Amino acid sequence: MSHSPALTVERPSAAPPPMRHGSSTKRKQNIAAYLFVLPFFVVFVAMLVVPLVYSGYLSLFESKLIGGDAFAGLANYVRALQDSAFLASIGRMGLFFVIQVPIMLGLALFLALALDTGRARGSKGVRLLVFMPYAVPAVVATLMWGYLYGPDFGPIAQVARAVGFGTPDFLSPVNILGSMMNIVTWEFVGYNMIIMYAALRSIPGELYEAAEIDGAGQFRIAWSVKIPAIRPAILLTVIFSIIGTFQLFAEPSLLNAIAPDAITNSFTPNYYAYNLAFINQELNYAAAIAFLLGLFIAIVSYIVQLSSQRRERRERSAS
């Protein structure tokens, strides 16, 4: 009977007690649980753990013209950390992250809060229409915006010419990063808005009823009740944005076709790894780049999570 506590804790008193709490029942349940998680973890190991380990293994080798692959230790990593193209791509994505993510998440939060107040007409329509770009593949979104930016039949250029501003060049080397930020913002505001909105809807009303009775305005309530209450959801969107930003691929690779001067083969780290592996045939070096990129993303996500937890703890102890 030594195994019964776990079972009785889980079970509310409503159901009649089972005949026997014997360890054989417990063992049967354990086996069932393992069988339930087994299929997922088989694929998990095969498609996630093995490639990860393999990538780490490959990155330690160097392919020589004569004699095939030779163990190189950390040489690929040393090379990557001195590779100005790789570092520039990380820096470019850092800039992208610092500018685009606050705009995207700010807009998403504004929309979610505005919809949650229920003071606008047709909120349901707004919600669906803003979310719609999420169902558009990045390839199609980039193609579409590429045409919209285009100098020939792009409507933005048509309007600008009609007003007398001349033809704006969204695809020049200076402007391309901003143009890409706009594409990604367009794609993902709706997705982030839905996550935040869903979290807002599940705040218990009692939390801000008191504030409303005290006469606090909607801005006050949003700032000091609603936003703190959905902090976990916001953190989730930040983490997803970190991952998404540093592995941008479809956008640069498609913009490259229409703006080859502006998009270098190392515009984003992921695009660089792809070009190294499949154009330059430098598989080992590409594996090191991919591994470093993954490590970098994991560390940044971890720091963001940690600082958010610390801040929460500090605020809790202050109040």
Partner 1 sequence: MTALDTRAAVTIGDTTGSRRAKRNFDPKKRRSVLLTVLLWLCVLYFVLPLWWLLVSATKDNSGLFSTFGLWFGGGFSFFENLQTLFTVRDGIFARWLVNTLVYSLASAVGATLLATMAGYAFAKYEFPGKKALFSATLGAIMIPLTALALPTYLLFSEAGLTDTPWAVIVPSLVTPFGVYLMRVYAADAVDDSLIEAARVDGAGEFRIFWQVGLRLLGPGLVTVFLFSLVATWNNYFLPLIMLNTSDLYPITVGLAQLQAAASAGGGSQALFSTVITGSFVSILPLIIAFLFLQRYWQSGLSTGSVKG
Q: Tell me the per-residue interface mask from 127 to 146 with partner 1, x by CB under 8 A, - otherwise.
A: xxxxxxxxxxxxxx--xxx-
Which of 270, 272, 282, 285 binds partner 1 (CB under 8 A)? It is 270
Of 2-41, binders to partner 1 (CB under 8 A) are 6-7, 10-12, 14-16, 18-19, 28-30, 32-37, 39-41
205 vs 318, which CB is nearer to partner 1?
A: 205
Q: Does 227 bind partner 1 (CB under 8 A)?
A: no
Give the shortest CB-319-to-partner 1 separation in angstroms. Answer: 22
Q: Does 262 bind partner 1 (CB under 8 A)?
A: no
DSSP states of 270-288: HHHHHHHHHTS--HHHHHH
Q: Tell me the per-residue interface mask from 158 to 187 with partner 1, x by CB under 8 A, - otherwise.
A: x---------------------------x-
Residue spans of beta strands (DSSP E) within the chain: 61-64, 68-71
Give the shortest CB-149-to-partner 1 separation in angstroms. Answer: 11
* Nearest one of 90, 85, 89, 79 to 288, comparing CA atoms: 79
193 vs 318, which CB is nearer to partner 1?
A: 193
Q: Which residues pair with 63 in a beta bridge?
A: 69
Calpha distance 264→262 (Å, rounded): 6
Task: Tell me the window of 85-93, 98-106, 282-290, 308-316 that interacts with partner 1 (CB under 8 A).
Answer: 282-290
Which of 48, 70, 81, 98 binds partner 1 (CB under 8 A)? It is 48
* Nearest one of 249, 263, 233, 238 to 293, comparing CA atoms: 249
Phi-psi region of 73 (alpha: psi -120 to 50; beta: other; left: phi over 0): left
What is residue 280's DSSP assignment?
A: S
Q: Tell me the per-residue interface mask from 51 to 90 with partner 1, x by CB under 8 A, - otherwise.
A: xx-xx--x--------------------------------
Tell me which H or E stretch contains 282: none
Angle formed at CA 15 by CA 9 and CA 19, multiple of 5 degrees: 85
118 vs 318, which CB is nearer to partner 1?
A: 118
Cβ contact 80:292 at 8 Å: yes
Question: Quick check: helix, strand or coil at residue 306?
Answer: helix
Give the shortest CB-221-to-partner 1 separation in angstroms. Answer: 8
Q: Does 205 bind partner 1 (CB under 8 A)?
A: yes
Cβ contact 196:233 at 8 Å: yes
The upper half-sphere exposure of residue 237, i.e. CA atoms within 13 Å in the direction of its Cβ, equals 26
What is residue 135's DSSP assignment?
A: G
19 vs 66, which CB is nearer to partner 1?
A: 19
Give the shortest CB-274-to-partner 1 separation in angstroms. Answer: 7
Give the shortest CB-95-to-partner 1 separation in angstroms. Answer: 19
